[in-house]
Amino acid sequence: MTFALIIISALILGCAAVAMALRNLIHSALLLIGSWAGVAAFYLWAGAEFVAFAQILIYIGAISMVVLFAVLLTRQGDAPEPVEFPSLSRFVTGLIAGGGVAGVLIGAILGMPFDVRTAQSAPALSVKELGAQLMGPHAVSLLVIGLLLTVALLGAVLLASDRRPDQPEDTP
Amino acid sequence: MSPLQICLLLSSLLFCIGLVGVLSRGSAILVLLGVELMLNAANINFIAFWRYGPNPDAGTGIVFVLFSIAAAAAEAAVGFALVIAVYRHQRNIRLQEANRLKG
pLDDT digits (tens, 9 = 90+) for A73-90: 888 766 666 677 777 888
Q: Nearest CA to CA, how far is A167 from chain B (Å)? A: 17
Judge: A46–B48 Cβ closer than 8 Å, yes or no: yes
**Helix ranges (DSSP H) in chain B:** 3-24, 28-52, 60-90
Q: Does A133 touch chain B (CB under 8 A)?
A: yes
Judge: B30–A95 Cβ closer than 8 Å, yes or no: no
pLDDT of residue A118: 59
Q: Nearest CA to CA, how far is B100 from chain A (Å)? A: 17
Interface test with B, best of A20, A50, A65 (most B CBs within 10 A): A20
| Out of A3-12, A77-86, B8-17, least confident range | A77-86
Q: Which residues of B touch A162 (CB under 8 A)?
A: 88
CA dist A103 → A8, A86, A114, B49, B83 (Å): 22, 25, 19, 21, 32
Mark A39-72 as b/e (b = at least 16 C-beta within 10 Å). Answer: bbbbbbbbbbbbbbebbbebbbeebbebbeebbe
The model's pLDDT over B13-33, given as tens digits with 9 standing for 90+, comes to 999 999 999 998 888 899 999
CA dist B98 → A96, A167, B91 (Å): 25, 25, 10
* Residue ranges covered by each domain of chain B: 3-97
Q: Which CATH class is domain B3-97?
A: mainly alpha
3-state secondary structure of A163: coil
Binned at pLDDT 50, 70 and 90, residue A168 comes out as low
Q: Which residues of A touch B73 (CB under 8 A)?
A: 58, 62-63, 149
- Nearest CA to B65 out of A52, A61, A93 is that of A52
pLDDT of residue A144: 95
- Mean pLDDT taken over chain B: 88
Binned at pLDDT 50, 70 and 90, residue A42 comes out as very high
- Mean pLDDT taken over chain A: 86
How many interface pairs between A and B have CB atoms less than 8 angstroms apart? 232
Binned at pLDDT 50, 70 and 90, residue A113 comes out as confident
With CA atoms as reference, the chain B residue closest to A143 would be B67
The model's pLDDT over A44-77, given as tens digits with 9 standing for 90+, comes to 998 888 999 999 999 999 999 999 999 888 887 6
The fold of the A1-76 domain, in CATH, is Four Helix Bundle (Hemerythrin (Met), subunit A) (1.20.120)
Binned at pLDDT 50, 70 and 90, residue A9 comes out as very high
The model's pLDDT over B39-87, given as tens digits with 9 standing for 90+, comes to 999 999 999 988 888 777 788 889 999 999 999 999 999 999 999 988 8
The count of other CB atoms within 10 Å of the CB of residue B34 is 25
Interface test with B, best of A63, A121, A126, A140 (most B CBs within 10 A): A63
The model's pLDDT over A89-101, given as tens digits with 9 standing for 90+, comes to 888 999 999 999 9
Mark A113-146 as b/e (b = at least 16 C-beta within 10 Å). Answer: eeebeeeeeebebeeeebeebbeeebeeebeebe
